[in-house]
A and B are shown apart, each in its own frame.
Chain A
Amino acid sequence: MLNSSVARLSALLAARKISSVELTSAFLERIRSLNPVLNAFISVDEEASLGQARAADAVIASGEAQPLTGIPIAQKDIFCTRGRLTTCGSRMLSNFVSPYDAHVIERFDAAGAVNIGKTNMDEFAMGSSNETSYFGPVKNPWDVAAVPGGSSGGSACSVAARMAPAATGTDTGGSIRQPAALCGISGLKPTYGMVSRYGMIAFASSLDQGGPMAKTAEDLALMLNVMAGFDARDSTSLQREPEDYARDLEKPLAGLRIGLPKEYFVKEVDRDVARAVEAALGEYRRLGATAVEVSLPATRLSVPVYYVLAPAEASSNLSRFDGVRYGYRAPAYADLDDMYRKTRAQGFGAEVQRRILIGTYVLSQGYYDAYYLQAQRLRRLIAQDFVEAFRQCDLIMGPTSPTVAFDLGERSSDPVQMYLSDAYTIAANLAGLPAMSIPVGFGQGSRPVGLHIIGNYFAEARMLNAAHRYQQATDWHLRVPQACPDGAPGTRE
C-alpha cells in the first residue's frame, strides 16, 4: 500500500478494497516511525487527518468520489491551512495558526483529499538544501548524510520515503524540481499563473508557482487536475478552460522533437549526472523521439538575474512581517522602531535576512536602474531564447541539477555555491515556462539523478505524456530508498 501510486490507491479505494481511514492510518504510522530521523514534517494532526479520512469514506460510500477522494496528501507548510499551524519554515511564523485556507488547500479539500501533514521547507522557500528551516534540516532518505534539496525538501522526502503518496510544493527558482531530482521522485512546476498563489506565502511573486510532487507522472497529472484553475483572488491567475492533464499520457512519442541546449551539456555537469541523463535520452530515442541541438545563449545570465529579481520582490513581500498583526514579536524593545528591528532580526534566519538586504539594496535610490531594471531587461532576453528554441523542438531536456545531492553542511556557509545549484532550473521561472523533473538513475554515492523537461507555455499535458511513456519503459521511479524499512526491496545501482 505504501509503495502504490495515487492512481492505484484511487482504484483500490473506489473498489472498496481499502478504506481511506486504513490508508491514512498506515501513512500516519509511517510518519511516526520515520519522521524523527528524516524531519520531513513540521506538523501532523492525526485527529484532523483521520476526520478527513472518515468523511472521504462516507463520500466514497455514497458514490460521489473524485480521483483524489480519500488520498493522503502532504502539504508544504507554505500553504495557509485554516485552524492549523502554517510556519513557512520560519521562527517568524512559528506560532501562526492560519485564519484562512490557501486556494490550493480549498481545492484539495473540495476533492476529498486528506491533509496528512505540513512539510518542512527552507525558511520562506529561500534555499536549495532545506538547511535554512527554523525547524532543522530534512534528511535525504537515500542517504541521511545528504540534503534532500530545497526548498520543498520535506515534500520530496515525504514522497521518496513513502510517508505520503504525493505532496505539494512551490517553485520560485527550482524548489519543486531540484528536491524532486535529489530525492528521486517526480515534480512539476506549471506555467506561471496556472495554480493560484492565494494563501501561498509569498517569496517572489512574479516567479512563485505551486505544483505537484509524486512518484509518477500520472500522479502528477491527477494532482494538477485538482490544483490548477482560475482564482480571482490571485491577480496573476490565468483564465483558461479547464483541461484534463492526464488526457495524453498514453500517446506514442514517435516524432517528438527533443531540444538539447548546448549550454546545458557542459563541463560544469558532473560526469555521473551527465551519464544518467545521456542514458535517459537514449531511451527517448528508442521510444521514437528525435534530438535536435538548440541554443539558449542568455541562460548563463539566469542566476545573476534571479538573484536581483527574487530578493527584490522578497524584500517587498517580507516587509509585512513587523510583529504587529501576526507572527513573532521580540520580547523586549525600546520603542516602535526598535520593535520592528529586533522582531525582524530575531524572527528571520540568516539567509532570509541576506536576501532582504540584497533586495533592499538593488531597489534603493540610485541603484534601481542598474540592477532591477537591467535584470528585467535580461529576463526578456532569457524568455526570448526559449521562444526561438521552441520553433525547433517540442520539449527541452537536460539535467535538473549539475550534481547529485550534496552533503549536509557542505554548502551552507557559501551562499554563492548554493545559488549555483539552481543554474538549470531558474530560467524556466524567469520565462514563466512549465518544467518538471523525473528520476532517471543514480550517480555518485547511489544518490538519485533527475532529468529536467521544459515545455512551452501550457504544454503540461505533452510533458506529462513524455514523462509517463518513459516511466512505462523504465523503473527508476519505482525504486525505494534502502534506508526506509518495510518498503519494497530497494534496488539500487
Chain B
Amino acid sequence: MPLSLDDVKRVADLARIEVGEEQAHAVLAQLAGVFDLIQEMQAVEAAAVEPLSHAQDVMLRLRPDAVTEADQRQLFQSVAPSVEAGLYLVPRVIE
C-alpha cells in the first residue's frame, strides 16, 4: 500500500515535527523508497512465530518499592531552557 502525502502529514503531526507543505513532498519521496524496502518482509508468512522483543529471554528484575534516587532538582534544572522557582516554564496552556 503506497504512502500518501496525507500519511506524511498525519505522522508528522503525531510526532510533533513541523513539516512544511513543500518539505512534505520531499519527505514522501524518501519515505516511499524506505517503505519499498520494508515491504519485502510482508511476503513472509510468519503468523505462527512468536514475536521476539529481546534477544535474551530474561525476566525483568524486581526491586523493593523504596526511594533510591536523591533529590537533584537543582542540578537537573540547571540544564533546562527555562525555569523559575523550581518549575519548568512553558507557554501558557490555560487562559
A136 interfacial contact with B, CB 8 Å: no
Alpha-carbon distance between A341 and B63 when the two chains are bound, in angstroms: 38
Known A-B contacts A238-B56, A360-B11, A380-B50; A416 and B34 likewise in contact (beta carbons under 8 Å): yes
Q: What's the minimum C-beta distance from A397 to chain B, rounded to whole angstroms? A: 21
Residues of A within 8 A of B58 (CB): 193, 236, 238
A99–B78 CB distance below 8 A? yes
Q: Which of B1-52 contact A (CB under 8 A)?
A: 3, 7-8, 10-12, 14-19, 27, 30-31, 33-42, 44, 46-47, 49-52
Alpha-carbon distance between A3 and B36 when the two chains are bound, in angstroms: 46
A19 interfacial contact with B, CB 8 Å: no
B56–A99 CB distance below 8 A? no
Known contacts A97-B79, A206-B54, then 11 further A-B pairs from the complex at CB < 8 Å, ordered by chain A residue: A192-B54, A238-B56, A301-B40, A304-B39, A315-B15, A326-B79, A340-B16, A341-B16, A341-B18, A354-B27, A432-B54
Residues in chain A within 8 A of chain B (CB atoms): 96-99, 192-193, 206, 232, 235-236, 238, 300-301, 303-305, 307-308, 315, 319, 322-329, 333-342, 344-345, 348, 353-354, 356-358, 360-362, 364, 370-371, 373-381, 383, 414-416, 419, 430-433, 457
Residues of A within 8 A of B81 (CB): 323-324, 326-329
Residues of A within 8 A of B8 (CB): 357
Chain A residue nearest in CB terms to B48: A377
B75 interfacial contact with A, CB 8 Å: yes
Number of interface residues of B (CB under 8 A): 53
Interface centre among A304, A315, A345, A348 (most CB of B within 10 A): A304
A378–B15 CB distance below 8 A? no
Residues of A within 8 A of B41 (CB): 301, 304-305, 308, 374-375, 378
A344–B91 CB distance below 8 A? no
Interface centre among B16, B18, B44, B54 (most CB of A within 10 A): B16
Residues of B within 8 A of A99 (CB): 72, 75-76, 78-79
A336–B93 CB distance below 8 A? yes
B16 partner, pick from A335, A344, A415, A433, beta carbons under 8 A: A344
A377 partner, pick from B19, B37, B49, B92, beta carbons under 8 A: B49
Residues of A within 8 A of B16 (CB): 319, 322, 337, 340-341, 344
Alpha-carbon distance between A339 and B56 when the two chains are bound, in angstroms: 40
Residues of B within 8 A of A357 (CB): 8, 11-12, 15, 17, 27, 31
Give the number of residue pairs across the A-B interface with Cβ within 8 Å. Answer: 169
Residues in chain B within 8 A of chain A (CB atoms): 3, 7-8, 10-12, 14-19, 27, 30-31, 33-42, 44, 46-47, 49-56, 58, 60-61, 63, 72, 75-76, 78-82, 88, 90-93
Interface of A is mostly: helix
A381 partner, pick from B40, B46, B53, B61, beta carbons under 8 A: B46
Alpha-carbon distance between A130 and B48 when the two chains are bound, in angstroms: 39
Q: What's the minimum C-beta distance from B18 to chain A, rounded to whole angstroms? A: 4
Known A-B contacts A379-B51, A432-B55; A358 and B18 likewise in contact (beta carbons under 8 Å): no
**Pairs across A and B, CB under 8 Å, 18 listed:** A97-B79, A193-B56, A206-B53, A307-B34, A308-B38, A341-B16, A342-B18, A344-B15, A348-B17, A353-B27, A354-B27, A354-B34, A360-B11, A360-B14, A381-B46, A383-B52, A415-B33, A416-B33
Q: What's the minimum C-beta distance from B58 to chain A, rounded to whole angstroms? A: 7
A370 partner, pick from B3, B42, B50, B92, beta carbons under 8 A: B42
A358–B55 CB distance below 8 A? no
Residues of A within 8 A of B90 (CB): 324, 336, 339
